[in-house]
Amino acid sequence: MARLPVVGGNWKMNTNRAEARALLSALRADLDGLTGTQVAICPPAPWLGDAADMLAGSTLDVGAQDVHWEAKGAFTGAYSAPMLAGVASWVIVGHSERRHVFGETSEQTNAKLRAVLAAGLRPILAVGERREETDRVSDILHTQLTEGFAGLDRLPAEVVIAYEPVWAIGTGLAATPEDAQARCALIRSMLAERFDAPSAEACRIQYGGSVTAQNIDGYAKQPDIDGALVGGASLDAVAFGAICRAVAAA
Ligand code: 13P
């Protein structure tokens, strides 16, 4: 079954407003109408409204980098999935920086995932092992998937998984396409075991970690890799455009 890939641009905590608007405008000019992949632009939260306005009516989607699990209340600095509805259509949950820099627990990741689904948005659940965990990557991925999907009795079609080995993020030390393929296939087999084979087969699984315009082809042609979650290179309109086109053409 053919799966439509998804390329996410995770800007992380980068860009001022003028830079964000210039990047959004360049991305729209370059990528609107591209077929063969979905594209989700995930700017910092303060620019989500600008992104929604500037990408409205285009084929580019807006995504948020994080969310709170509660719908509303006394949570200073946080924003909820119902607030994102109508502004963003994708939300990254469980990114390694949320887990390891901000101390997000798997229970919180799971609550976020469920809040995103309840709001009718599409979660990108990020999983991946740290350098010191590479000898037990299967256990780590199994635990992250089991805990991330706690309480779900089926795998919704809206869910995308991003396999991002933590040691490959922002380091220039990208996983080899063969290793990334093996991990994504492993994740797919775990999804089949946890849910069922058809929904596992239909689920999009991205690779993330030092993806560039130069190395994307290696990932894009792998059978179990359905696009990429791009950090640093997503801040460069030319590089990100080349990545999206390579995925669309694969
Ligand atoms: P880099 O592409 O900068 O390695 O970041 C990957 C990432 O964390 C995307 O979510």
- What is the CA 243 to chain-centroid distance, rounded? 15
Measured in degrees and rounded to the nearest 5, phi and psi for residue 40 equal: -125, 115
The one-letter code for the residue type at 195 is F
Nearest residue to 199 (alpha-carbon basis) of 160, 166, 232, 244? 160
Nearest residue to 205 (alpha-carbon basis) of 125, 140, 141, 113? 125
C-alpha separations of 6 from 42, 45, 96, 207, 250 in Å: 13, 21, 19, 10, 12
The CATH number assigned to the domain with range 6-249 reads 3.20.20.70
Active-site option among 70, 142, 164, 201: 164
For the entire predicted model, the pTM comes to 0.98
- Ligand 1 centroid–CA 25 distance in Å is 22
* Pocket test residue of 98, 230, 234 for ligand 1, highest count of atoms within 8 A of CB: 230
Active-site option among 95, 97, 104, 129: 95
- Ligand 1 centroid–CA 152 distance in Å is 27
Between CA 54 and CA 49 the distance in angstroms is: 8
* Tens of pLDDT, residue by residue, the chain (250 residues): 689 999 999 999 999 999 999 999 999 999 999 999 999 999 999 999 999 999 999 999 999 999 999 999 999 999 999 999 999 999 999 999 999 999 999 999 999 999 999 999 999 999 999 999 999 999 999 999 999 999 999 999 999 999 999 999 999 999 999 999 999 999 999 999 999 999 999 999 999 999 999 999 999 999 999 999 999 999 999 999 999 999 999 9
95 is catalytic: yes
Domain ranges within the chain, ordered by starting residue: 6-249
Determine the atom of ligand 1 nearest the C-alpha atom of 126: 10
164 is catalytic: yes
